[in-house]
Every structure is written in structure tokens, then in C-alpha cells.
A and B are shown apart, each in its own frame.
Chain A
Amino acid sequence: MLEGRGLTKVYRMGEVEVHALRGVDLALREGEFTVLVGASGSGKSTLLNILGGLDVPSGGQLLHRGRPLTHAGEAERTRFRRDHVGFVFQFYNLIPSLTARENVQLVTDIARDPMEAREALEMVGLGARMDHFPSQLSGGEQQRVAIARAVAKRPEILLCDEPTGALDVKTGIVVLEVLETVHATLGTTTCIITHNAPIASLADRVITLSDGRIEREVRNAERARARDLKW
């Protein structure tokens, strides 16, 4: 469904060139739950941002259902994100001046076939706290709002960048359970990146990145349940 071929990304940091991706081939398949693991600086976030159309690769190709996105302009990438991709970020990136429900409405206002904001929030277990502002919610709750916001448009692909990175274990597990539920209920193609190895056991497929390259790819014979995880 979404495929990267030979993706490279080079950043310039002052006088140094940083090769974040050094030729990555990767395909996300319909309905699959993928986890990308790797140490900090391995290029995971860069890869996710490129897959989601937030950033453009320096080289290689990106295809969405066979349609090339590599040279898509800003407008086309925006349409791609708007219609097909849901994002969850490590730091939630909620709009502080909007309540939980309104943050979700940001998406339902512009999506083609969204669910009700209430429905999305109930799915993440926040039906009772819809009218709270981000500052009135815990970190885990804020992340669940972010997930509700991402799934409310019924995206084809859900991309999560360290969704538990800023959370404690217990809250992290709650968030992962929510992602699990979303995947099970909506069948959304899901890709999570994390540096937290135990999370990999949730996936159908685990891809390990190291120094901008895919080091190995493992298919789990059986997916673990989020509530059984420990780290």
C-alpha cells in the first residue's frame, strides 16, 4: 500500500552533512501492524516523516498504491496526509487552546468521511473527558486524544512516532492498548516507531533500523497483547 524504495535523506547541520537514511527499502502492507525499532539517531523518525508525507526524501522513491509521491509538491502531500494518514507524535502536539473534542474536530472538520469526535474519543476511553483542555489532562490522556484525533478521519495508515516515549509504563500500556483496539476495530495499517524493544512483540512485523539502514526484518509468529507487556 505504501512503499519506499532506496530512500535516502541527508541533513545539513551547520558544516556537517548527516546521512539520516542511507537507502531504505520498505513496504507497509494493508492492515498490517508494523513496529520500527532502533536506537536514537538510527533514522526512524526521519523514515516515518517521509512515509507520512511530512518530509521529502533526498533520494529514492515513495509510492502510495503505486502512485509516486517522491516528487509530490506541498499541496499534493497535504492532500495525501489529509485523506490517508493519521499521525500520533511523542509530544502529542495538541492545540492547547482547544478542548479534547475540539482537537478531534480539527480533523473531522476537514476529513472526507470522518467519524463523530465523540465516537473517536469514546474509542480511546475518553468519552467522559471530552470537554477538558490539554492542560487539564494527564500525559497519557493527552496522547489518547492525539490518537482519537488521528483515527477520527478513518485513515488508511496510522503512523505513530514514539507514542509512549513521554509516558510511564502503566500509561504507556494504556496507550498501546488503545492503538491495538483501533487496529482491531478499524483495520488501519499501523506503523509505530520506538526505541523500546518490548513493544516490538505487538507487531506482525518488526523492522530494525541502524545507522540509516534496515538491519533486519522479523515476522512475529504470534502477536503479544499490550497488557502483557513489561519494560
Chain B
Amino acid sequence: MRALDRKLVRDLVRLRGQVVTIALVVAAGISAWVCLRSTYESLLATRDADYASGRFGHVFCRLVRAPARVEAELSRIEGVERVYPRLVERGLLPLASSPEPAVAEVVSLPIEGEAPLNHVHVVSGRLPHPGRGDEVLLLEAFASRQGIGLGSRLSWVLEGRRRVCTVVGIAVSPEYVFATTEGALEAEGRSAVLWMARDALAAATDKAGVFDDVVLQLGPHASERAVIAEVDRRLAPYGGRGAFGRSRQPSNALIDGELVQLRAFSTVAPLLFLAVAAFLVHLVLGRLVNLQRGQVAALKALGYRDREVAQHYLALVSVVVSLGAVIGVASGAWLGRGMLALYLEFFRFSEVRERLSAPVVLVGVLGSLGAALVGAGQTVRRIAALPPAEAMRPEAPTEYRLSWFSAGPLGRLVPTSGRMVLRELERHPIRACLSSFGIALGIAVVIVGWFGRDALEALIAHQFERSMREDLEVRFLGPRPARVVRTFGAMPGVLRAEGGREVPGRVRSGARVRDVRVVGHPAGATLRALLDADGAPVRVPSGGALLTGKLAEVLGVSVGDVVELELVEGAHPVRWVSVTGAVEEPYGLALHLTTHDLDVLLREQHRVTSVWLRVDPWALGAVRRRLATLPGVFSVTRRTALVAHFRAQTGRTMGTTTFVLTLFAAVIAAGVVYNHARVALSLRARDLASLRVLGFTRGEISSVLLGELSVHGLLAIPIGAWLGARFAQAVLATVDAERYRLSASVSRSTYAFAITVTLAAGLFSALLVRRRLDRLDLLAVLKARE
């Protein structure tokens, strides 16, 4: 082993504290990246594989009923490769655990062979036999949540008739990866899917020879929009209820939403971490190398070439980064597997594809290594450029000058140690700024890790607290006469009832088109508030429409403009409506009208699709039970349950993401502060030892160093808070704003948390440094320059 290599090994051992902490900073950056990125890629790969093997359709449409021959008509549409007509019915499944029954979707299975699209993958048991109306397949997610096993008997209600059947198989399907049915966001655990042989279901619903639901597969170059328009046109005579693509398919839309969020938090945030870790390693290793200035000079005097000296230090850096990379990749992969498992609790796929792609690992490792090498390389080059004779002399005492502050009357009040701190800051402002910036990055990454919770809470406050004010929302299977609102309002315990109408629509402005929800609000409505950008309630005007702010933006329209609105229901009327304002909504795109205006556009009698109720708390249970048994009711949702469910589902995955990010952010912050303190100690050891020799106490010299560190920490707080807020915006900028609009406002508690974590790391490092100061060997420090 060459002597220089031995020096490398010894240096690594001697600097082990710093080596380990810097490696951990690198590891934290890489781990966050690998963990979140591999979770995202695994989930994406799993979904894509599941959709491909399960032949998940591209376009879906429900209708009242159409004869079998319409299938051929649909398959002639340009771009359509395959058509799968089937029956999908809505039933209710009473539950022991809740007053409301579960919402059941009953899907037909071909009598022979596999379904051509939207396969059903039987996990256990078998398919129901043809003609057997008493045999069903049950969705795995629902079965496991409700503890229903093979052979269990289920009692359920279809078209008002109670039926009893046996569970002969448990299944998953790409169509129900997330167990939810149309319009039933809250119904996780209460969304059941049953599959039954087609002939049996047709017999039960009197739909022999017809279909009421169709799934289409498109060719690779087909235009989804064109196919949807054509399907709508051809199914209109059969009561087509508006075809839609995967983006509006309930289960897929939910997975997509999660993927969108996960992508935002798995790309920008960890890349930011990687960059921050790399920058810090750059800074810290640069300073570490700088401390060996005398050794570099000695090596050069002995005849070592610049290249050899540089290689020696770059090897040191490479070892540190490689150590970090190994820890980072291993822990990231392990944590990624854990996070994927968490998602798989909500999303049931037929098979799971775990991904840890080489590019992800390479970006993490090479990114860190590159930045660290550049950082150390710059310092090595700077030192190597010094003539060895100069580098070997102790650094000339820096020129200090009396500033206006130290010279003034205020300065005289400051004790000597305080003045030393001040002069150091005055003299080395760039060094102080870089140190503060390093600590500020620590604070900023903690904010990025944690603010996801703020975004979630802001969404909950906006949507579930300020906008939704009802206690219960009742949705119907189809539009109901408006008198039902009065009926509900007259129920004992109901304080107020308001009915609304929702219709799928399509808005055009010039060449720009968007699919939207068209929502009709009753005059004088109080239970559903629309809010403007400042959170103030906005009344729905008569004779005009309010647009989601984002919708107005993408269409390029403002107040006073006119847009074309196609209502995707009935005869698909196309009307012109004028824009009278914009409202802020956290997800989706919508157009809001008064129910009266909507009725006029539809040329229909007043009908409602949902009723919002304010209920006396004492009567809530009784009202829920009563509503659940009414015919035509599709779902009854408690607002509080909806919030709880939202928190449980999105909150859990988001919570895990933020926990992982925050953990790593804390490691990064601690690593920075510790190394910063150690380097500061090395830089000042000589001065401090001199002070000790002059008779200063340990406490006094500690106050000089710790005072300097505290000033850096204090300067870092505003910078870190500002940077954190900017980083948060950068993370959210990657979320598809047409689907989700999360608020990037960082809460005070998040700021406080980030600052506390970072400063706690600082305090801990300071104590470690203080311990070293107490053991400072006065003579050795004064004699040797190393």
C-alpha cells in the first residue's frame, strides 16, 4: 500500500465523526429519492401491468338499455378495437357495522369464457355458474374489510327486492383496484362489487337481450375525444349517460390522483434533497480539504504533482460519498418497499411489480458523487494553485478593521468575546453567509418534508369546513323530482334541506375544450358555499355561470365572456352561457349555475340528483337509517365521516411521505450543523487555545465559538423559512393543477417545527463541540498547525 493511500485510510479513521455524518447527509438525500421514486415507479409499473393483463378498457359508458345489435354499431366507430357490452346494476348490501347499507355494484360475467375487457381475476374460489342467481364473486377489498369469506351468505337488495346468495369466489379487477363506485368517494369499505353470471343478472333485472353498460378498447392511435363524442351520439337514443375515458373512471381517477401527488413529492422534493445534500457535502468537504492546506503544501514540496494530490483528496471524497450511497440506496429500497405495501392496502392489484430502476439509483449516486467531487475539486485546485512555500506558511493573520459598530459606543458595551464574534463575522462575511445558507437549507428541506400536511389541512378546511356545510348528503341513482327535497325537509329532525343537480358537461371556448361537472345550486342555498380566491362566499348569479378559477384560466375566459356548454345527458343540448365570476375549488373543474338556469338549459322540469341536509344532532342516527331504506337513494354521506375518511386515506399516504421526507430532512439538517460546528472549531482552535493560554476560562472561549455558531443559526432562520416556502411552491408546481390545486402556504407550526428541528440539531452539535473545546490540548494546538 502506498504511503499516500495509508494517509487516506488514516484520515478517514481520524475524521470518522465527520465522515459518518457527511455520509448520512448523502444517504438521506439518496434514500429519500430512491424510496419515493421507487414507490412511484413500482406503483406505476404495477398499475400498467395490471391494466394490460386485465385488459382494462379505455372508454366507458352507462345507458338505460340498448339492444344487443348496437354493439356492432359501436364497433364500427373509427379507433374502436373491441366492444364489451354488459349489465351493471346498483344494489344495496345491508351491513351489521353501520346504519347505512353498503353500495353494491353488480356486474355481469359472460356465460362462457373470460370477459373480453375489464377482466376479473379470481383470487380464491371459482366463477359463478351460468344461470345461478344465488352465486356471486365478491371484491377482495370489500370481503377482507368486512370479514366475509368464501361460502358466506349475503343478503342484498336489487330493484327493491331482497335476494340471498353465496360467495363462491373472491376477485380483483383493474376496474375496481380502488374499491369505489361512481360518486361515492367516502364509500371505501362500504363499496361492494359483486359479479354474477350474465343470464342470471338479466333474469333478475328483466334485461335479457339488452345491455346497460359498455366498455371499449381503443386502437393505439385512436382519438379518445372523438370516440367519446361518437359513442355519445350513437347511444343518445338509448339513454346514454355520457361516455368517459379512464381519467373519469372512479377507481382509476383515484389511483391517478395518488400517482399525481406521489410524483410531485417523489420528484421535486427528493431531487431538492439530493441537491441540498450535494451542496452541503460540497461545502463541508471543501472546508475539510482546506484545513489540510499545510499537508497539501508538504506533499507538493516533496514533489507530488497537483494531479496526484487532487486524486488523493478526491478519493477521500469518493469514499465518503460511496458510503453514503450504499446506505442511501439500501435504506431507500427498503423504505420504498414499505411505502408500496402501504399503498397496496388501498389499491388491490392482481400482481405487484416492485421496481428499483437503474436510472433512479444512478441519478442518486452519480448526482451526489458529482456534486461532492466538484466541491472538493474546487478547493483542491485552489490550494494546489498556491505556491507550496506560501501554502506551508500559516495563513497570514487576516486584516481586521474597526467597523463603525465595534468602534462606536455600542461596541464598547460588548464583552471581548462578543467583539471577537463580531469581528469574525465582519471579516469573513462570505464564510458566515455560506454557513448560514447551509443551515438555512436544512430548515428549508424540513419545511418541504412537512408542508404536505399543511396543504392537506388547507384543502380539508376549504372543502369540508367552509364549503360543505351540510350534515348529510343524499345522492340518488338518477335525477328525482324536486318535491323529494320538501319530503326530506319534513322528516323529523331535519332542520333544512336543499336540493342540487349535477350533470356531466363539456365547455368550449374557441379551440379549448374541457370536461366538467355542471352543478345546479338552489336559490338562497346555504348548505353548499362557493368561495372566491380569498375564501369569501360567492352567490351563484342568475343568468350566468361561475367557473372554477382554473377552468377560466385554461379556457382563457374572464367575466363577461361567453362559453359554449354541452350538457352530456338526454339530448346533449348545446347552449351559450356567460361567465359571471370565478370560484376556488381544490380539485376538478366545474361550472356552477342556479338550478333554475340549469333546468332552462336542459329544457326539463326541476329535478335533483342530490339533497343536502342540516340535521339536529340528536336525530342524526334516526335520519340516516330512514334515508338508507328509501328507494332510489344511492348513497348517504356524513360530512364528518367524509373528512375522517379523507384524512385516513390521503392523510395516511401523505403522512408517510412527509414522515420519510422529514426524517431525512432532519438528518440533513443535523449533519450540516454538526459538520459546520466541527469545521468552525478546526478553523478557530488556534485562536481559542491562545485565549486559554492567556487565562480565558473554558466557558469564555466556548462563548466565542458558540456565539459565532448562534449568529449563523439566527441568520439562517429567515433565509431558511423563505427558501422553504419557495421549495414548497416548486414541489406543488409539478401537480397537475387541472385535477388538484393544493395550497403552498406553509403554516406557522411548520415553520416552527422546521426551525426547532434544525436548531435542536445545532444545539446538539454545539454540545459535542463544547466537549471537544473542554479537551483542547493547548500546547499541541499552539505548536502544530494541523
Contacts and interface: CB of A to CB of B under 8 A. Distances in A.
Interface of A: 13-14, 45, 49, 52, 54-56, 74-75, 78-79, 81-83, 85, 87, 89, 91, 93-98, 102-111, 135, 149, 153
A68 B302 CA distance: 21
Given A82-B303, A89-B392, A109-B2, A97 B14 contact: yes
B750 to A, nearest CB: 44
A74 B304 CA distance: 11
B6 A102 contact: yes
Contact of B388 (A14, A54, A135, A153): A54
B747 interface: no
Contacts of A87: 301-302
B392 to A, nearest CB: 6
B569 interface: no
A97 B11 contact: yes
B297 interface: yes
Given A95-B298, A98-B10, A109 B4 contact: yes
B10 A78 contact: no
A106 B389 contact: no
Given A54-B388, A103-B3, A106-B4, A149 B302 contact: yes
B301 A55 contact: no
A91 B302 CA distance: 15
A113 to B, nearest CB: 13
Contact of B389 (A55, A74, A149): A55
B302 A81 contact: yes
| Residue of B14, B303, B785, B786 contacting most chain A CB atoms (<10 Å) | B303
A96 B784 contact: yes
A74 B297 CA distance: 13
B3 A106 contact: yes
Given A97-B7, A102-B3, A106-B4, A81 B303 contact: yes
Name the prevailing secondary structure of the B interface residues: helix
Most chain A CB atoms below 10 A, which of B297, B302, B780, B786? B302
Contacts of B295: 93, 95
B306 to A, nearest CB: 7
B561 interface: no
Q: Please list the 10 inter-chain residue pairs (A to B) with the smallest Cβ-Cβ separation, ordered nearest first.
A: A82-B303, A97-B10, A105-B3, A49-B389, A54-B389, A93-B298, A106-B3, A55-B389, A81-B303, A102-B3
Residue of A13, A56, A89, A109 most packed against chain B (CB within 10 A): A109
Nearest to B387: A55
Contact of A105 (B2, B387, B389): B2
A134 B696 CA distance: 29
Contacts of A83: 303
A56 B302 contact: no
B7 to A, nearest CB: 5
A93 to B, nearest CB: 4
Contact of A109 (B3, B297, B396, B785): B3
A95 B300 contact: no
B6 A96 contact: no
B305 interface: yes
Interface string B213-247: 00000000000000000000000000000000000
Given A56-B387, A96-B786, A97-B11, A107 B302 contact: yes
14 contacts: A45-B389, A54-B387, A56-B387, A78-B304, A79-B303, A81-B302, A87-B302, A96-B784, A97-B10, A98-B6, A104-B3, A105-B3, A106-B4, A109-B2
Most buried by A among B299, B300, B308, B389: B389
Nearest to B9: A97
B389 A107 contact: no
B294 interface: yes
B390 interface: yes
A108 B6 CA distance: 14
B395 to A, nearest CB: 13
B534 interface: no
Contact of B305 (A55, A78, A93): A78
Interface string B762-786: 0000000000000000001000111
Contact of B302 (A45, A55, A79, A106): A106
A95 B305 CA distance: 17
B399 interface: yes
Contacts of A108: 3
Nearest to B304: A110
Given A14-B399, A93-B294, A102 B389 contact: no
B15 to A, nearest CB: 10
Contacts of A56: 387
Interface in B393-417: 396, 399
A153 B302 CA distance: 10
Given A54-B387, A93-B294, A93-B295, 10 more contacts: A49-B387, A55-B390, A81-B301, A81-B302, A91-B785, A93-B301, A98-B7, A102-B6, A102-B7, A110-B303
A102 to B, nearest CB: 5
A139 B263 CA distance: 62
A96 B304 CA distance: 17
Contacts of A54: 301, 387-389
Contacts of A95: 7, 295, 298-299
Nearest to A107: B302
Nearest to A48: B389
A47 B3 CA distance: 30
Among B297, B304, B306, B390: residue with most chain A CB under 10 A: B304
Nearest to B10: A97
Contacts of A89: 298, 301, 392
A52 B297 CA distance: 14
Contacts of B294: 93
